[in-house]
Chain A
């Protein structure tokens, strides 16, 4: 799509109009804006948090995908990256943080422990964070490489642009 400046007095044929104006639907425009400005709330719990810290680093640079800052407050963030093993003691604070996020919100279960309990099938660890929060994307790995997390991030972006509602809406419609 090439945009060239054109003087307003020249008549423009309707076939050429698309060269000068971008036409889209409101949903697509919103989705484009949302997907390119997802601000994660880092919920760094354990080893995956260290690999999540590598995301804003110069080499992997999640900021080029729009995640400019990792907000500390859940009220200001869109994506909750649950990075690490969630113990039963930590489950209520996790749910509280998730509830404080404003819609629309997405959840990425980063790593094996948050997706399914990982290698810790025992009394202490919640066997999968999707028992308490609806999860959009599971990123496997122990810990997943930063590139894998970026792949998961891109999946969420694709999901948003495809018009798929976030996971909590799907759960509501299921129930």
Chain B
């Protein structure tokens, strides 16, 4: 099923939910409005057979695509390898909002797996409804993304830190959280 067909089918069942769709390298990707997420999820599970939630991944796009393409003495510089570019930087489409939460679904049972991805765009602090009621396996996935990225899942029965210690401050996987560790002094450093 192509992403256009998928988007059409979902739009028919849950009007006003799908804002974009993309075929993608590996599976069709649907962009869904956060408030309609649970309805879309229920429709996908019941009517379209996506009974297996494989992963919930949150991505922080702070600084995405800024002056991208290789380095040249700095963090992000110029693409020296692109033929004919003479080092001009590559431009990358800016994401609409800072956070994206992506749900990877599959069909497990008779027939091919037919993977599908739904994504939701969020601002910092914006909530997204929890899909624990649709796929119970989302419990720890959402807790982990809350813990490491700070995304609030409204309606989650047990939203607390899972991986970091309970009194940890901050959300480590965010782009504005430093990598940490400690500086190592080498013996021949001045």
Residues of A within 8 A of B (CB): 88-89, 117, 120-125, 127
Cα distance A90–B164 when bound, in Å?
Answer: 10
Whether B165 and A122, one on each chain, are in contact in the complex, defined by CB atoms closer than 8 angstroms, is no
Number of A-B contacts (CB under 8 A): 25
Q: Could you name 9 residue pairs across A and B whose Cβ atoms are closer than 8 Å?
A: A88-B165, A89-B164, A117-B181, A121-B180, A121-B182, A121-B184, A122-B180, A122-B181, A124-B164
Q: Give the bracket for the number of chain B residues in contact with chain A.
A: 10 to 19
Known: A123-B179, A124-B172. 14 other contacts (CB 8 A): A88-B165, A89-B164, A117-B181, A120-B181, A121-B180, A121-B184, A122-B181, A123-B177, A123-B181, A124-B164, A124-B180, A125-B181, A127-B181, A127-B182
Cα distance A76–B155 when bound, in Å?
Answer: 48
Minimal Cβ-Cβ distance residue in A for B172: A123
Contact with A along B168-182 (1 / 0, CB 8 A): 000010000111111
Known interface pairs A89-B164, A89-B165; A123-B184 also in contact (CB < 8 Å): no
Cα distance A120–B184 when bound, in Å?
Answer: 13
Residues of B within 8 A of A (CB): 164-165, 172, 177-182, 184
Whether B165 and A123, one on each chain, are in contact in the complex, defined by CB atoms closer than 8 angstroms, is no
Cα distance A160–B182 when bound, in Å?
Answer: 33
Whether B179 and A122, one on each chain, are in contact in the complex, defined by CB atoms closer than 8 angstroms, is yes
Which B residues are in CB contact (< 8 Å) with A123? 172, 177-181
Cα distance A120–B179 when bound, in Å?
Answer: 10
Which B residues are in CB contact (< 8 Å) with A117? 181
Cα distance A120–B177 when bound, in Å?
Answer: 16
Task: Please list the 7 inter-chain residue pairs (A to B) with the smallest Cβ-Cβ separation, ordered nearest first.
Answer: A123-B180, A121-B181, A89-B165, A122-B180, A122-B181, A127-B182, A122-B179
Which A residues are in CB contact (< 8 Å) with B184? 121
Minimum Cβ distance to chain A for residue B54 (Å): 25
Minimal Cβ-Cβ distance residue in B for A89: B165
Cα distance A58–B177 when bound, in Å?
Answer: 47
Minimum Cβ distance to chain A for residue B60 (Å): 15
Minimal Cβ-Cβ distance residue in A for B166: A89
Minimum Cβ distance to chain B for residue A65 (Å): 34
Which B residues are in CB contact (< 8 Å) with A89? 164-165
Which B residues are in CB contact (< 8 Å) with A122? 179-181
Cα distance A17–B172 when bound, in Å?
Answer: 71
Minimal Cβ-Cβ distance residue in B for A123: B180
Minimum Cβ distance to chain B for residue A115 (Å): 13
Cα distance A117–B179 when bound, in Å?
Answer: 14
Cα distance A125–B164 when bound, in Å?
Answer: 11
Cα distance A123–B180 when bound, in Å?
Answer: 4
Which B residues are in CB contact (< 8 Å) with A121? 179-182, 184
Which A residues are in CB contact (< 8 Å) with B177? 123
Cα distance A88–B182 when bound, in Å?
Answer: 13
Minimal Cβ-Cβ distance residue in B for A91: B165
Which A residues are in CB contact (< 8 Å) with B182? 121, 127
Which A residues are in CB contact (< 8 Å) with B178? 123
Minimum Cβ distance to chain B for residue A169 (Å): 27
Cα distance A88–B164 when bound, in Å?
Answer: 9
Cα distance A124–B181 when bound, in Å?
Answer: 8
Cα distance A89–B184 when bound, in Å?
Answer: 22
Minimal Cβ-Cβ distance residue in A for B179: A122
Minimum Cβ distance to chain A for residue B190 (Å): 21
Cα distance A107–B177 when bound, in Å?
Answer: 34
Minimum Cβ distance to chain A for residue B160 (Å): 14
